[in-house]
Amino acid sequence: MAIKQALAVQVMETATNGKVAVASLSEVTNGWVALVINGAEKKVVCVTQGECPLSAMWAVESSCVQGGLQVDIMALNANNAAVVRRFVKWAAPSACGTKGTSIGFSDWVGAAGGCVAPLFAKKQVKPVLAEYSAADSGLLKRNFLEAVDAATWGVFETGYKEGYGANAEGLKSEEDIVKALLYGYSMIGLDCSEKINLQIEKMSDDDVAARYNDFPQEFRDAMQGSYLEANFQVGNEVIHFEPEQLRRIVLEYGEAIMHAQFIYNSYLKNTPWEIDFELLASKAGKLLSPQEHYLIANELQRNGIKFTSLALNALEEAQALQDDLPVHAAIAETFDYRLSFLQADLALQNLGAVAKALKGKVHFKLSSVLWLAAWETLIEAEPELAQELRTYAGLPGATPADLVPQSEIGKAYALSYQILLAPEAGNFAPQVKAALATNQAAYSERISVLVGSYLRTL
């Protein structure tokens, strides 16, 4: 006979002396699992009767028998997060696909918990609660597993069942891609920038032509037939290639295109679950031109590579992006993928206008929102710590109202995590996390206000 829900809650609370987070309560085979809170302490508790597949998988801290029911009490660790993701399906990340709008967040200190997901309830926007890059993982010495686990526990505690994503972005090594897949990430972001030949732009036309002529005649004929003998209508825009321009694009981006094909075919083509493949094929200080964008998309599609989004750096080339947005949007629409904007919170003032231009098919990376909310909380509630952080990072004084993401002072505070949270630099992460935990209600309110200001534009 199945265990009644009310009985499961009673047994959990009796065994732990805590309070069940009712939203987390989930029925599993022959039992129930939930998050139980006792003061500042949180545990996963599983109550079972008879054989339950989870029993052998938990990393159990303590067990007891209550009224003939087996009670296992567990810490919120990586092993148990993986078990929750496997058996409580709504607590696991899921792919966003090529349709709709999503917003990603980077929780640099792992303190946001379940503050973000509930803000998306009944919204036509999907949250990506772990937007974590290889570069930041190395800088902060915080691995990809910690980021997706933090998202898992936040979703589980709040009972958010509408779906969320987890993006391992900026990946360059095959090792990191394999790890992200094993950790259950729903989006793999491949950074091809190191495969882009930056030297081509410095070469003369004659030198470019000479190097291009090293390719076999058959290949050159195929490229000419594909790109020089027609114009390409994308929406209301027309893409045209000049011979010299085509040669430069092939030499500059050819290796990046081949690398993306290799990674997709080796690791992503046959995954047993749906996964998003995001491609970053930009280089610092330069936005992709429409011709570069079109050729990359066309070559990947012709070779059977299915990517769901192309990432553009909104901060570095905000004006160029604004000028060329209609044609980039038209290319993405033509090849059926979304555009994804890095550092969107620092560069784009009106997400709604951009989303409208892209017909709602867009991913915004709001990587600084949670950190700015943390700053606002510390300035108000922990002024001494805030001043210590400012002094170390060389930041000017500021009030919460000054931390507008698109302002120069807002950007300075937003990017200060690279100095303050890195173990090899300031190493303030433990202090900041403890302070935010002490002021959790205030931090949650700041997050709600900041995230809500973006959601209202969509």
Q: pLDDT tens digit string along 43-61? A: 999 999 989 999 999 999 9
Q: How far apart are CA 456 and CA 284, in angstroms?
A: 31
Mean pLDDT of 314-324: 73
Q: Which tokens hold the place of 374?
A: 């943390």
pLDDT over 80 (residue 117): yes
pLDDT tens-digit series, residues 399-439: 999 999 999 999 999 999 999 999 999 999 999 999 999 99
Mean pLDDT of 224-246: 94
Q: How far apart are CA 162 and CA 352, in angstroms?
A: 22
**Domain spans in the chain, listed from the N-terminal domain onward:** 5-87, 192-364, 369-455
Mean pLDDT of 383-406: 96
Tell me what pLDDT residue 48 has.
96
Tell me what pLDDT residue 287 has.
78
Which long-range contacts (C-beta less than 8 Å, at least 24 apart) are formed by 31-40? 31/3, 31/70, 32/3, 32/5, 32/8, 33/84, 33/87, 33/88, 34/8, 34/9, 35/153, 35/156, 35/157, 36/12, 40/437
Q: Residue 323's pLDDT band (boundaries 50, 70, 90)? A: confident
pLDDT over 80 (residue 282): no
Tell me what pLDDT residue 16 has.
96
Per the listing, tokens 């321009």 go with 245
Mean pLDDT of 377-393: 97
Tell me what pLDDT residue 318 has.
67
User: Which class for 272: exposed (0-12), middle (13-18), buried (19 or more C-beta within 10 A)?
Assistant: exposed
Residue with more model confidence, 285 or 326: 326
Tell me what pLDDT residue 283 has.
75
pLDDT over 90 (residue 316): no
The rounded mean pLDDT for the chain is: 94
The answer to whether 157 and 21 are in contact (CB under 8 A) is yes
The answer to whether 200 and 208 are in contact (CB under 8 A) is yes
Per the listing, tokens 């065994």 go with 15
Q: Residue 38's pLDDT band (boundaries 50, 70, 90)? A: very high
SS3 25: coil
Q: Residue 1's pLDDT band (boundaries 50, 70, 90)? A: low
Q: What is the DSSP string of 325-386?
A: HHHHHHHHHHHT-EEEEETHHHH-S-HHHHHHHTTT-EEEEETTHHHHHHHHHHHHH-HHHH
pLDDT tens-digit series, residues 196-234: 998 998 999 999 999 999 999 999 999 999 999 889 999
> How many percent of the chain have pLDDT more than 90?
84
Q: Residue 349's pLDDT band (boundaries 50, 70, 90)? A: confident
Tell me what pLDDT residue 292 has.
95
Q: Which of 270-279, 313-322, 383-392 has the lowest mean pLDDT?
A: 313-322
Tell me what pLDDT residue 134 has.
87
User: Distance between the two ends of the chain, CA-based, in angstroms?
Assistant: 48
Residue among 57, 55, 87, 83 at smallest CA distance from 71: 55
pLDDT over 80 (residue 298): yes
State phi, psi for 69 to the nearest 5 degrees: -105, 140
User: Which class for 206: exposed (0-12), middle (13-18), buried (19 or more C-beta within 10 A)?
Assistant: exposed
Q: How many CB atoms lie within 10 A of CB 244?
A: 12
151: left (phi over 0), alpha (psi -120 to 50) or beta: alpha
Residue among 264, 236, 253, 138 at smallest CA distance from 196: 253
User: For the chain, what is the largest distance between any 2 Cα atoms, rounded to a whole number of angstroms?
Assistant: 85
Query: Would you say the pTM of this structure is higher than 0.85?
Result: yes
> How many percent of the chain have pLDDT more than 70?
98
SS3 310: strand
336: left (phi over 0), alpha (psi -120 to 50) or beta: left
Tell me what pLDDT residue 304 has.
95
Half-sphere exposure of 148 (CA within 13 A, CB side): 30
Composition of the chain by helix, strand, coil, percent to 5: 50, 20, 30
Q: How far apart are CA 85 and CA 238, in angstroms?
A: 46
Looking at the chain, the number of H-run helices and the number of E-run strands are: 18, 16
Look at the alpha carbons of 87, 129, 150, 175 in this order and tell me if their dihedral is positive or negative: positive
Q: Residue 285's pLDDT band (boundaries 50, 70, 90)? A: low
